[in-house]
Amino acid sequence: MEHFNPDLSLTSTQAAELLDVHPSTVKRWCNDGALASSKTGGGHRRIHLEDLQLFARENEIDTILSPFHPYEPHVWTALQELQDDDSFRRFHSLAMSWVFRGQLQRLHDLFLTLARSEIIPFSRFCDEGIRGLMEQVGGAWHAGKLRAGEEHMVTQAMIEVLLEYRREVAGSLPRGHGERIAVVGSTEGNQHHLGSLCVRVLLERKGWEVYYLGPDVPVEDFGAIQEGRGAGLVCISLTPPATTGEVARLVRILSEFYHAEHPYTLALGGSLASPVDPEATEGPFERVDMYGSCAELEMTLDQGGPIPRAEHVQA
């Protein structure tokens, strides 16, 4: 595990954020002597992270770091680096150290904490947070450092994070009222489904009603369900080994199912093995867009309203 500064000290504003109270409350606790603190040469108050966690435990206050005891400084430093330097380096290094030690619950909690914190947009959480971790996990498996079963456990932990986060945000979000309906999943032969799950949660966060088909679904079912539910958007995740031929095949099948009275936009995304020949995406659809990330889809949705209408985005 990476080195960290054991003497981490926080400003009263940072302490107030962690304890979820007003900074003036922190100052009062410090002045009363309830919360240990010191002053810098310039007269600014500093609180050791260790003292803050001790105070929180004694007073039964849960902070976002509480589930990570005794690794609070590691998590705090990783989140700070993400917030201040825009870097996932420490976050992923901490995550991988827990992967190697088989500490999947901590890994799960770390990712859920980041998703909830909203330090970064949800699309970036998926594109860099989850995808970045899975790339490292895939690399470790390839190098013989992780077993296939361990890789599966990490995938499962990420699925659980996304589903748990989804349940938490679902209740508080506006629904599409039948206007913004999407069908999302991965086509037959494709067992990879973290990508489509990310897209599902991204759309739901934006108020879309999503019919989530999961992995390994026949292409024609996307067409049939789109028509049956009147969906305006069909999102398909094409994790490798997808090729231009695979794209042409699914566009051809979906074209056969297309009904002009139920128009929709087709969004294809994921990591393709090769660049796609634009001719392969020609069909009767409102539009066909190719995406390499959730952030690109989010940008298109934000610019184009309920049904994506931005310029064609090449993955």
Residues that bind ligand B12 (CB under 6 A): 126-127, 130-131, 134-135, 137-138, 151, 155, 189-196, 198-199, 235, 237, 239-241, 267, 269-271, 273, 291, 293-294, 297
34 or 273: CB nearest ligand B12: 273
Shortest distance in whole angstroms from residue 173 CB to ligand B12: 19
Cα–Cα distance between 187 and 229 in angstroms, integer?
19
Shortest distance in whole angstroms from residue 206 CB to ligand B12: 12
139 or 230: CB nearest ligand B12: 139
76 or 258: CB nearest ligand B12: 258
SS (H, E, C) 243-280: CHHHHHHHHHHHHHHCCCCCCCEEEEECCCCCCCCHHH
Shortest distance in whole angstroms from residue 216 CB to ligand B12: 8
98's enclosing H/E stretch is helix 89-100
List the one residue out of 248, 247, 227, 249 whose CA is nearest residue 238: 247
Shortest distance in whole angstroms from residue 54 CB to ligand B12: 38
63 or 196: CB nearest ligand B12: 196
- Note whether 294 and 127 are within 8 A (CB): yes
Q: Check residue 307 and give left, alpha or beta (phi > 0: left; psi -120 to 50: alpha).
A: beta
36 or 159: CB nearest ligand B12: 159
- Note whether 242 and 191 are within 8 A (CB): no
Cα–Cα distance between 154 and 152 in angstroms, integer?
5
Shortest distance in whole angstroms from residue 75 CB to ligand B12: 22
Q: Tokens standing for 237?
A: 């995740």
Shortest distance in whole angstroms from residue 126 CB to ligand B12: 4
- Note whether 238 and 189 are within 8 A (CB): no
Shortest-Cβ-distance residue relative to ligand B12 = 269
Rg, Å, the chain Cα set = 23
5 or 191: CB nearest ligand B12: 191
